[in-house]
Amino acid sequence: GENVEQHPSTLSVQEGDSAVIKCTYSDSASNYFPWYKQELGKGPQLIIDIRSNVGEKKDQRIAVTLNKTAKHFSLHITETQPEDSAVYFCAAGLGNQFYFGTGTSLTVIP
Residue 5 beta carbon to other proteins: minimum distance, rounded to whole angstroms: 11
Distance between CA atoms of residues 106 and 65, nearest Å: 19
Residue selected from 34, 64, 84, 108 as contacting other proteins according to rule CB under 8 A: 34
Asked if 16 and 77 touch (Cβ cutoff 8 Å), the reply is no
The 10 Å Cβ neighbour count of residue 77 is 25
- Classify 38 as helix, strand or coil: strand
Query: H-helix or E-strand containing 19?
Result: strand 19-25
Say how many residues touch other proteins, by CB under 8 A.
23
Under the binding rule (CB under 8 A), the answer on residue 101 touching other proteins is: yes
Distance between CA atoms of residues 37 and 54, nearest Å: 22
Residue 63 beta carbon to other proteins: minimum distance, rounded to whole angstroms: 18
Under the binding rule (CB under 8 A), the answer on residue 110 touching other proteins is: no
In the range 45-84, which residues lie near other proteins by CB under 8 A?
A: 45-46, 49
Binding site for other proteins (CB under 8 A): 4, 6, 32, 34, 36, 41-46, 49, 89, 91, 93, 96-103
